Amino acid sequence: MTRALRIKIIIVLVVLLGSLYFLYPTFRLVTMGREERTALEIDDPEEIDKLMGKAIKLGLDLSGGMHLVLEVDDSQLKDDEKRDVLDRALQIIRNRVDQFGVSEPTIQKEGAKRILVQLPGLQDAERAKRLIGQTAMLQWHLVRQQEEVVGILNKLDRVLKRAHGDSLIEITPSVADTAVGFVPEVPVAEETVDVLEETIPAAEETIPPAEETPPVPTPFDSSMVPESLLMQQTPDVPIDIPLQTMNKDKPFTSLLMSFYRDWLIVHEDNIPRVRRMLADPEVIEAIPEDSEFMWFDDWTPLPEGGRGKFLFLIAKDVTVSGANLVNAVPEADPQAPNRLLVRFRFNRKGAREFSRFTGENVGRFTAIVLDGRIRSFPVIRSKIPDGSGVIEGDFPDTEARDLAITLRAGALPAPMLIREERTVGPSLGADSIRMGIRAALFGLIIVIIFMIIYYQLSGGIASIALIFNLVILFGLLAYLGAALTLPGIAGIILTIGMAIDANVLIFERIREELRKAKTIRSAIDAGYDRAFTTILDANLTTLITAVVLWQFGTGPIKGFATTLSIGIIASMFTALVFSRVIFDLWTRSGRVKKLHI
């Protein structure tokens, strides 16, 4: 055996074993029974996830998935910002989807304002919409302190009393419901009652009416601050400093339960009325332009029973933007391993801004706002010069990962509106897969029968090479993580024909050499040498076309181009290397007197 033949045998074995290795997860899933798969999902979910991650994935037309048409809402943008808003949104959505882990997604422009998104095999539709449509506008706002908030609260009481005084009717408040709304509910006697009168520990701890001097806020308690530079306070802390209010004279503050540190607490029953008051034009005008009331979405349990929400007054003019974030990753909280946090890092410019912001506001609370929602409210313990920190919250595992993805990909330039949403069911995919596999098998069987009848034993060698070709093709699909689509199955069927075409060229050349009375060895060598140029030219031109389709095509076209490209490379290898190795092993002893071809 020559050295060249040994090298070819080693190459063939490496390719074959490698292809079988990458195909094993797909084979394991396909041959796994329903009961076995259900048991594995319960007993070892990580194993089933690992197999599915390495198996051949199916496209939207085979496995089902999400079909979304998004429209860019550029109504709030300036004219110069509207020029490339669609291109920027397209790139950011593509970055997010790529990190989301969906194979062979379709993301393309549709008209002047719309983007088509197809996510094959995706089951969690709500998570996908949240991830894609989230604008990811991250900001750090300073939380106004108690002495600032008290003055605004008293001003809102005066404004509401002056604007709606005639419609305000006194009611007897309670811990669960202390509100007086614009629409009376239960009118009672004229006597007014202080809210939470029994829970007020001392007169000096209450907030006096507007005409009196505002109280001194609760001093900053450093023992309540965790060790990290930015750490969220636990939301189920004791309620502190109840507000002394009277319903008729204080229509707004009578709806509030109390202060704790620098934020307010509102009982669940009073939240709708507080929201209506904050939306009142008179109230909006009374709130300073550099401030804004904002809710913390999570509920907090109340000592008296029930639950409530925190209401913050944030400074709109003292902020740091997340536009200069360069990285964000989810990781386990060192102080609570079962909880996740998102660690972020700024670039040099963002680090300077963040360092200035934290250095000037040590001991103050800051609201971390993502897309208009407060995600956490940490206290700044010290200046942070390196531009890194953490975002804490009660994040589920998927939410922490998605938040990190949206922050890394960047903020969308404008909100995205969902104009069309369809979920493609898997039943269509099952029918398509069954019919496609049936067509491919019928084509393969017919080609093998023809080759064996026409070329006899050499046709059998070509048939073995064809099966090896399909093993390589599917192995590469699994290795590259490419999705198999219905047009991709068409590409596989076309590959079968092209692979046999290469063998036909070689066999016809060998026949010509045999007619010239050459020996079997010399006829085989000459046949392969002369057919090589023709096979290379034919396959190379087709490969160039397939690469162009893959580069500029989308969806089904890209799926067809993927399988065609892999199939062309595999067919050239099996025709020029694998079948040649078999012929060389068969004829190297010199005992073969007749070549069945």
CATH label of the domain that carries residue 114? 3.30.70.3400
* Strand residues in 37-126 grouped as ranges (E): 57-58, 65-72, 106-110, 114-120
Amino acid (1-letter code) at residue 550: W
Residues 386 and 365 grouped into a single domain? yes
467 and 419 co-located in one domain: no
pLDDT at 14: 94
| Structural domain for 30, as ranges | 3-37+425-587
What is the reported pLDDT for 103? 63
435 and 554 share a domain?
yes
Report which of 258, 180, 172, 171 is spatially closest to residue 215, judged by C-alpha positions: 258
How far apart are the C-alpha atoms of 43 and 375, rounded to whole Å? 35
Same-domain check for residues 149 and 287: yes
The pLDDT value recorded for residue 463 is 92
Number of structural domains (the chain) is 3
In terms of domains, do 20 and 105 share one? no
pLDDT value for 471: 93
Place of tokens 């290397």: 577
Tokens of 7: 């090298």
Give the residue ranges of DSSP H helices in 411-485.
Answer: 426-480
The reply to whether 118 and 199 lie within a common domain is no
Unique residue bearing structure tokens 């060998």: 510
Low pLDDT (below 70) residues in the chain: 99-104, 123, 134-136, 165-248, 259-260, 371, 393-396, 406, 408-411, 424-430, 432, 554-555, 589-590
pLDDT at 85: 82
Q: Report the C-alpha gap between 235 and 237 in whole angstroms.
A: 6
pTM (global) more than 0.85 = no
Does 254 share its domain with 277?
Answer: yes
Quick one: pLDDT at residue 9? 92
The Cα diameter of the chain in Å comes to: 123
Residue 465 in domain: yes
| Alpha carbon distance 308, 64 (integer Å) | 42
Q: At 173, list the tokens.
A: 């408040």
The domain boundary residue, chosen from 385, 409, 433 = 409
